[in-house]
Amino acid sequence: MAQIKTVYLISHTHTDIGYTDHQPTVFRQHLDFIDQAIELGEATADYPVESRYKWTCEVTSFVERYFRERPAKQIDRFLALHKRGQMAVAAMEYHWTPLLSTAAMIRSLFPVARLRRDYGLKIETAMQCDVDGASWLWADLLPKIGINAFTMSINMYRGRRPAPDLNAFWWQGPGGDRLLTFNGPHYLYGIFRYGLGDMETVEKLLPDQLAKLEARDDYPYDFLYAQVTHPARVDNGPPLPNLSEFVRDWNAAGRTPRMEFVTVDEFGSMLHERYANQIFTWQGDWADWWADGPASSAYETALNRSTEELLPLVDLLATQINTLDDQLIEDAYHEVSLYDEHTWGGFASTRRPHAPFTRSVWNHKAGYAFRGYGLTHELLAQGGRALVRNITGVVPEGEKWRRWGQYVASDPSSDPTSHRFLVINPLSWTRHVRY
């Protein structure tokens, strides 16, 4: 039992690839949200430090897209705020279901390396929002690339947070690494349960929530963690523009507990500094109970999973020949990964399953699986034939021009060089093949 002395506010928008809008629209909207956050950050740069506007980009995918599509002057504004601690980037490429393969999990962390290398970004914490669980391997992979904290904000609509909830723990991975993890509240709690951003609402809602926490024997912290989204649109929504004024005025009036704007990195650092030696360790997979999405599209799910099994073979072929396009390989991984991203359907999918919006959103979602399948098989065919030519010096079947009809000079099956096939083992152990 501890008295709550500080409320830590993290301003962000929840990232759904789809759901509120068509997927291409969502990709464009999120870049606009970063523009708006930059304006707010610069406008409040002279506010008291705890009330300066800070924005956390939930996922790396939009930050990379932002740097590709925005002019250099705008990128410089982003980087200046980042250096001042007002703009943070979390480490996940998207919010993932457990469908993501090991190879794709690793590939999804490449943007972290690129953003650090190309722009000098400091990325130390990962966020997973809305999903009920996270694959156990993240507890090993994230520390390997210097991510030292992980926050979860589970949607309890059809799932539950592990108990004790709203708590931190060391999550030990199957390989022995461990990750400081915060099992936090849902991202809409800041607005709808705590009332943050509006003086009248917060006076009605916050005291009861604080009292419940302070009465718990299993809550040893003197803070409340609150992710804050826009009340008009908690998913894929813009920054809430009055938050800095709310924090400034609340603190200036001497109200308690004290409010403080932080980024997700600052929150993770606080946990390490103050609580890392006091918290328990858990091991095991963090099961995701929202499996109805993948099950509702069983054919596409099976297709996508079979495609993901083949992508490491494309990687292997790329190490043996120099003709495969690296960008196409990236594109193949990205397509199948977007199918594994957590958003399934639009907001009206169950109420209006045949509406044009519902069908359009699903067309995009299913398209990720089919485009990934097509591109992966194109790369496999191209890479496999190139490797055959390199090893045997023989033009593989399908690339040799044959005459037809009365002009056929010989039966191709009579050529002894056509009685061979190449077997490639993409695994790290020896396999015996019988034929």
User: pLDDT tens digits, residue range 285-297?
Assistant: 998 877 788 999 9
Angle between helices 243-252 and 199-214 (to 10 degrees): 70
- Which of 8-17, 70-79, 342-351 is least confident? 342-351
The answer, yes or no, to whether residue 417 has pLDDT greater than 70, is no
Q: Looking at per-residue confidence, does 50 or 158 come out higher? A: 50
pLDDT band at 435 (very low <50, low <70, confident <90, very high): low
Give pLDDT, residue 35.
98
Tell me the H-state helices in 129-193.
Answer: 138-144, 189-192
Average pLDDT over residues 253-272: 97
Average pLDDT over residues 60-83: 98
Cis peptide before 412 (omega within 30 of 0): no
Say if pTM beats, i.e. exceeds, 0.85.
yes
The fraction of the chain above a pLDDT of 90, given in percent, is 82
pLDDT band at 423 (very low <50, low <70, confident <90, very high): confident
Average pLDDT over residues 296-310: 96
Cα 329 from Cα 109, distance rounded (Å): 15
Give pLDDT, residue 293.
86
User: pLDDT tens digits, residue range 311-345?
Assistant: 999 999 999 999 999 999 999 999 999 999 999 98
Asked if residues 267 and 57 have their Cβ atoms less than 8 Å apart, the reply is no
Cα 129 from Cα 133, distance rounded (Å): 9
- CA nearest to 77, candidates 65, 90, 92, 67: 67
Q: Is 312 exposed, middle or buried (0-12, 13-18, 19+ CB in 10 A)?
A: middle
Output the six-digit token pair for 351. Answer: 């109420």
CB atoms closer than 10 angstroms to residue 257: 17
Residue appearing with tokens 């072929």: 317
- Which of 83-87, 207-211, 365-369, 405-409 is least confident? 405-409
Give pLDDT, residue 146.
97
Cα 102 from Cα 78, distance rounded (Å): 32
Cα 334 from Cα 340, distance rounded (Å): 10
Query: Measured between alpha carbons, how far is residue 68 from residues 42, 61, 62, 344 in Å?
Result: 22, 11, 10, 27
User: pLDDT tens digits, residue range 339-398?
Assistant: 999 999 899 988 999 999 999 999 999 999 999 999 999 999 999 989 988 888 877 766
3-state helix, strand, coil in the chain (%, to 5): 45, 15, 40
The residues facing 129 across adjacent strands are 153
User: pLDDT tens digits, residue range 208-243?
Assistant: 999 999 999 999 999 999 999 999 999 999 999 999
Tell me the H-state helices in 100-259.
Answer: 102-107, 110-119, 138-144, 189-192, 199-214, 243-252
Average pLDDT over residues 110-131: 97
Give pLDDT, residue 194.
96
Q: Which amino acid is at 361?
A: V
Average pLDDT over residues 120-149: 96
Question: Which of 139-143, 391-395, 406-410 has maximum average pLDDT?
Answer: 139-143
